[in-house]
Structure 1
Amino acid sequence: MLICLTASHRNASFDLLERLSIGAPTAASRLVTDSDVLDGAVVLATCNRFEAYLDIAGDDRDSAVSATVDAVATASDLVPAEVLDSVSVLGGGDVVQHLFAVSSGLESVVVGETEISGQVRRALEDARANGTTTSDLERLFQEAAHTSRGVKTRTRIGAAGRSLVRLGLELASSRITDWARTRVLLVGTGSYAATTIAALRDRGAANIQVFSPSGRAPWFAAKHDLVAASDLRTAIGSSDVVITCTSSEVPVVEPADLDDGRRRIVIDLGLPRNVDPDAADVDGVELLDLETISIHAPIAELNAESEARQMVDDAVSRFRAQALEQSTTPALVAFRKHVFDILDDEIDRAKRRDTDPESVEQTERALRHLVGVLLHRPSVRARELGRAGRGEEFVGALDALFGVRPEPEAELPSPVVPLAERTAPECPVSTDRTGEADAS
């Protein structure tokens, strides 16, 4: 049975989501190995949401929720009760509906944003690497990826959403008269920083410095034709706009770094925060962080969003119908094995009775044809009953008539499927924490 624990910018504080984005992924592998109630888990944690998709062993939903909350709270240095109060628990078809909508960008801060689909795929890859996927989770996430690609290519929902960096720059543009004369400092050198540079240049910004807490500024500056800054405070002092997007777990910009009396816009795209929140109290400083940016997220283009949601609904219906059909598959496989075992025995007896090879071949061909005809109707009926939610009737009938029961489903190793494409995560933070924010 699949359930989902979910918290997002809609029902949880950014502080809590920020803590979970760091700790929750590290708890994923222990969720399964240390718990008797979970067969599998896929954890997705970004600055805007926390999702734990769980495959429960049995039907003890409450124990699974408790074990998951305790694990992610401990890993994130949070009180379990605080996490429990901030998550919603979904079950049954709601899990499918929710993941398909999330991966299609319909639940993001900016509706239609495409970065989340890459984050969902990477969450599945991490689960594969940790050995925490199951066949049901694999099917769910692979179909979610297929749905999100369809929404992206067949609707204009992407036009309704813009990346967080572009939205942040748009908000800043209302205070900036000429980007070409604006002096910009970029703090960070990951691939999200490269996205920021492209967005700045689209607006005409030409005077851009870059500073790296990890010392990568010279290399990055040479690659992108920028000026490398060696001292952060000096670089801030000569800048009109400061944009931060590193994966540092502590603020890299303090209020004292900004306290020079200049009017300045600071855009903090980092998670955890790269700028101390108290910087907003410094005279002349206007701080735009992820929470502020999300408040100003634009209203989606209603027609595009409606079309996208209809596509998600259709995909959910197909997935549910397929899942119902597959519910009778183990029993049908067991029945076919039972029948073919009988067939093989009859063919062996025919070979022992008749020494004429041609006669034996004719008998075998006739018997196999007869078995194929006899199996056709039960196979069709099994799918029909499955789609109607009556799969248990088929299973019970086989047991009552033939004493045939489906064998327990063996958990197969998850296939390693190469990513079809890689996109930036929903927020500018990488889960590997080895350097600055990297979306690839």
Structure 2
Amino acid sequence: MALVYLGTDFHDTPLSELEKFESASAEVLNALNPNDSVLEGVVVLATCNRFEIYFEAESFHDSMDYVTSVVASSLGVPSDEVASMLKVLYGDSVPQHLFSVASGLESMIVGEEEISGQVKRSLTQAHQRGFVSKNLNHLFQNAASVAKAVTTETGLGASGRSVITTALDVASEELGGITGKSVLLIGTGAYSRVVTAAIQRAGVDNIFVYSRAGRAEKFSENHDTTPVNKDQLVQVMAEVDLVISASGAKGYAIDETLAQEVLAHRSGKSDLVLIDVSLSKDVAPAVSQLNRMSVIDLDQIRHRAPQEHIDSVLTAREIIHTAVTNFENSMASRSIDPVVAALRSHIGLWVDEEIESVRRKSGNSAAEEVQKSLRKVTNAILHAPSVKAKELAVDGNHEDYINAVRLLFNIEVNDRG
């Protein structure tokens, strides 16, 4: 069995294209059902910054062709186009990448706090469908442990830094501070909850919420915000200091016509700052060209994000390097487990036959005493071979052990993965 990564992120793919992958992620995951495909297991990680598929399969080439075709079908584009956009990793490059992602080293904002939770949720979603193999589960559980270790030992991720907190830092420079300002949030989805919490931590109490889908009132019931309906939208935008759009719905939430209308009602107030953290762009490009409108989008946030201290990043990479080595050793050790289990089972049959023979000749009491003794002897005899088997597996020499077991005990083990 092999663990394989197929994916892309903001480094290689424009955010507008990533949005298409993210929108299709649930469909892709469902279509990659391991119960009805060449895959043994699959997990899909899709965020505003990346689209990644981690899977386990017996045949590398067959599985690659299959996964690529499924993604292409979900997007409605040719397979060769998808193949040209997605990067492939296998071997120890897979844990190396996932551990780096979960630790925030591959994020748009280095040390981003949200990514480790997103990695955990992707595993949970695959688990809920029964799509996770043992090795994939082992990989993602290790990623969670590595992310925690990086945060604890380097401080990366502990500061609560994220795309929205960085955007607020940029907006604060333009507004002369955020505390005490009034904010309109457009959108009530999952990310809007993250945005609301970040705004409140920044000292903003006067928060309005507008939803194009009409969910503002329900959202405000649990988030200490004031709902805004469509008729109130222009007036509220004309009065607030900052607008944050995170709706993710199709079409622009703020187009040039709306922006012009807001400006007509905004006499005597400072320039309106707009933060657009929607992957598909909620603010029309033309709006940024208007006087008295300042738009901060994901591309600007990426370029203006502060860099983490180099020592922390280097320490994090050392932690990840060690974790990858340990993971690979663990995987090699696990690969020999079926052989060790087969050997124990084989010897166990001899023990059981001897116990039954004693039971027939001398009764249950004598058989129980013999059973205790033989179990102890069996464990003692097999301890050293079991330890040696795992050592050989880690060193890549487990075939010698398997051949020895086959020769000495006439045991065939077909599934060693």
TM-score normalised by the chain length of structure 2 = 0.88
Contact 2:104 2:116 (C-alpha < 8 Å) held by counterparts:
yes
Question: 1:66, CA displacement in angstroms?
Answer: 2.5
Match of 2:115 in 1: 116
Partner of 1:45: 46
Counterpart position of 1:385? 392
**Residue of structure 2 equivalent to 1:82:** 81
Distance in structure 2 (CA, Å) of the matches to 1:101 and 1:135: 21
Tell me the equivalent position of 1:8: 9
Which runs of no fewer than 5 residues in structure 2 stay unpaired?
A: none
> Displacement of 1:87 after TM fit?
1.6
- Alignment partner of 1:290 is 2:298: yes
Query: 1:50 Cα shift?
Result: 0.8
Cα deviation for residue 336 of structure 1 reads 0.9
Q: Secondary structure at the match of 2:174?
A: coil
Structure 1 SS opposite 2:254? coil
**Aligned: 1:399 with 2:406:** yes
Which residue in 2 is equivalent to 1:156? 155
Alignment counterpart, residue 327 of structure 1, candidates 312, 315, 335 = 335
Cα displacement string for residues 43-81 of structure 1 (whole angstroms, at most 9, x for unaligned residues): 11111001100111x22x233223222222332344433
Q: How does 1:207-222 map to 2 (within 5 A)?
A: 207-221=206-220
Residue range with higher mean Cα deviation, 307-316 or 39-48:
307-316
| Distance in 1 between residues matched to 2:201 and 2:369, nearest whole Å | 76
Post-superposition offset of 1:203: 4.3
Q: Secondary structure at the match of 1:64?
A: helix
Paired residues of 2:339 and 2:416 also in contact (CA < 8 A): no
How is 1:12-411 mapped onto 2 (pairs within 5 angstroms)? 12-32=13-33, 36-56=37-57, 58-59=58-59, 61-158=60-157, 162-177=161-176, 179=178, 182-190=181-189, 192-221=191-220, 223-231=222-230, 232-260=233-261, 261=263, 263-352=271-360, 354-355=361-362, 366-406=373-413, 408=415
**Matched residues in 1 for 2:147 and 2:223: separation?**
32
1:273-303 deviations in whole A, cap 9, x for unaligned? 2223333333432222222211222211112
CA distance in 2, matches of 1:235, 1:130: 43
Number of aligned residue pairs:
407
**1:334-353 CA distances to partner (integer Å, 9 max, x unpaired)?**
0111111112223333444x
Write the distance in 2 (CA, Å) between the matches of 1:372 and 1:221. 63
Matched residue type, 1:382? A
**Does 239-248 or 86-95 show the bigger shift?**
239-248
Q: CA separation in 1, counterparts of 2:45 and 2:368?
A: 58
CA distance in 2, matches of 1:282, 1:240: 17
Amino acid at match of 1:266: L
Q: Which runs of 5+ in 1 are unaligned?
A: 411-440
Question: Per-residue deviation at 1:121?
Answer: 1.2
Write the distance in 2 (CA, Å) between the matches of 1:362 and 1:206. 74
Tell me if structure 2 keeps the 8 A contact 1:97–1:313.
yes
Alpha-carbon distance in structure 1 between the residues aligned to 2:313 and 2:90: 25
TM-score, normalisation: structure 1: 0.84
User: Quick one: distance in 1 between partners of 2:405 and 2:134?
Assistant: 25
Aligned-residue sequence identity (percent) comes to: 32
Q: Quick check: 268-277 or 388-397, which moved more?
A: 268-277
Secondary structure of the 2:252 match is coil
CA 1:36–1:206: 2 relative to 1, 3 Å: closer
3-state SS of paired residue (2:384): helix
**Mapped contact 1:25–1:44 kept (Cα < 8 A):** no
Q: Which has the higher contact order (CA 8 A, sep 6+)?
A: 1
Q: Deviations over 1:345-402 (max 9, x none)?
A: 23333444x5387766665555444433322221121122112111122112111221
* Conserved 8 A contact 2:189-2:247: yes
Q: Residues 358 and 366 of structure 2 are in contact (CA less than 8 Å); yes or no, is this contact kept in structure 1?
A: no
Do 2:43 and 2:123's aligned partners in 1 also have CA atoms closer than 8 Å?
yes
RMSD: 2.7
State the shift of 1:8 in Å.
Answer: 0.8
Q: Which has the higher helix share?
A: 2
SS at match of 1:250: coil
Distance 1:175 1:339 in 2: 75
